[in-house]
Amino acid sequence: MGLPLLLATACAQPAPAGEPQASAPPAPDLTQFHDQQLAFEPCAPYATTAADEALFANERLECSRLQVPLDYADPEGPRAEIAVMRMRAKGERIGSLVTNPGGPGGSGLNQVATSGPGWDEMPIAERFDIVSFDPRGVGATTPQVDCFTDAEDDRGEGFNGTLVPEDVVDEQTARTIAQRCADSVGGEQALVNIGTRDTVQDLDVLRVALGDEQLNFLGYSYGTELGAVYAETFPHNLRAMLLDGAVDPELSGAEFTVSQAAGSQGAFDAMAAQCTSAPDCPLGSDPARAVEAYHALLRPLQDNPLPTTDGRGLSYESAATGVFAGLYSEATWPIVLRGLSEVADGRGDILLALHDLYAQRGPDGRHGSLIEAFRSIRCMDWDRRTPAEQADQLREVREAAPIMDDGTPITESVHECAAWPEPPSRTGPFVTGDVDVPPILVTSVTGDPTTPHQGGINLARTLGGTLLTVDGAQHGIALFGQSPCVDQIATDYLVDLTLPPADARCSL
């Protein structure tokens, strides 16, 4: 976790009496970026996956590219191009509602293309242009990070998709990873400028280029962190901010990962309790032994992957990632259980399909950028761990989530970011609570397995915002069309800036 970047707005500390007062560095001149005119066009050329090719054909969608400095300390230097998607308001327009789907590494273009038809039936599509973007390192934006080939990802040689620390065997391997990631984005300068602090700056340039005096923002999961950093960096540029599924500002990156592991275990336990009370449960009939039954199903895949229709086979890593992805929502638990039953019968298609959905692997073999962008962005956001701390992290993850224990000995490994060209660009918590920000609405689901509810409580308190608690078991809820109670409160806030009572509560 880290402090927001307060470029040129941070005041210098007072000099001791009798010494000259130091002056803050001058703000970079971003006029050329603020004055740019976005040229919107059909979105087909912006698709980077087979799934996006179909989604982006929607005529309601239009796309453009936003020019931003690669390094905000050098606005005259190389540039990045941020891919932007817009769905125009159908009625009396308030402004743009900029969204972020989370990750970090999630594609905002894919989010709008996927959720747009549902949002089109809601009042927000009447009053706002729905806008999102692929952050640095992601999707159709350049630079895009692509550290491993599709074939390497298929063989399990890339970054893993769970909360288990990466198993980097030595420093030379770490140097190779860093070099490959740097080469994929065009060099070290690009690699060290794709952290959250840089995306926050891009978000404000986008606000101006869209013609909005103030930002309206909807952030999910990691998008709550991005939004919170923006709020403290540019408080006067903010009109409304809805943060859903909050990253906990009181936890370090390592602590947050362990809290996510505990949340995933809680979801597994709840799924197992439902399953073991019914006949033919692949986890048996005793919820206390469900984890043991789970390991009995999956651990043999370490040596003997299961056959799948496409011939790739289901490895242990792919199966574990598929289960992890399926725990995000109670609605997908039955799919996980069918996948586990299929494993018991000697096949792996269902869990492999869940893995592929999470890893953004299309039927043509192309992988999306989510997992590699996640690791690369966090390399600039989170502290790096020593080999001993890596081992401690793995031990803590396994203790918090026994389902993530693959049975292998815990050994020291090198942190995946150990050879990154520069240290993280921030330290400490990502927000401080020291900056007055406009009223913010935080929504949090009590049984969220990925961003546990306490994070929503803590983020709302830190920002001085209002918390809407939602009883249920899934990751994210605002404007999903699943809870009229939540969607009405969200709409009232975004459109009219009307906040609910401090004790407001909805349910799924």
Q: Map out the domains of the chain with their CATH numbers.
A: 31-143+191-251+428-507 (3.40.50.1820), 146-170+253-381+385-419 (no CATH)
Q: Which residues of the chain have pLDDT under 50?
A: 1-24
Task: Confirm whether 367 is a catalytic residue.
Answer: no
Task: Confirm whether 475 is a catalytic residue.
Answer: yes
* H-helix or E-strand spanning residue 151: helix 150-154
Which of the following is catalytic: 107, 221, 259, 376?
A: 221
Q: How far is CA 409 from the centre of its chain?
A: 30
Q: What is the DSSP letter of 276?
A: H
Residue 320 structure tokens: 């574990």
The bridge status of strand 466-471 relative to strand 441-445 is: parallel
Nearest to 262 by CA among 396, 444, 410: 396
Distance CA 220, CA 246 (A): 7
Which of the following is catalytic: 448, 453, 483, 487?
A: 448
Residue 339 structure tokens: 């996948």
Ranges assigned E (strand) in 278-325: none
- Residue 427: its pLDDT value, please? 81
Query: Using alpha carbons only, what angle is made at residue 380 by residues 379 and 386, rounded to the nearest 5 degrees?
Result: 50
Which of the following is catalytic: 355, 415, 453, 475?
A: 475
- Residue 26: its pLDDT value, please? 66
Distance CA 399, CA 372 (A): 26
Distance CA 156, CA 231 (A): 38
Nearest to 58 by CA among 126, 139, 130: 130
Q: What are the Cα distances from residue 197, in Å, to 228, 230, 234, 371, 372? A: 11, 9, 12, 19, 18
CA max distance for the chain = 81
Distance CA 209, CA 201 (A): 13
Residue 72 structure tokens: 């905000």
Q: Is this prediction's pTM over 0.85?
A: yes
- Residue 28: its pLDDT value, please? 81
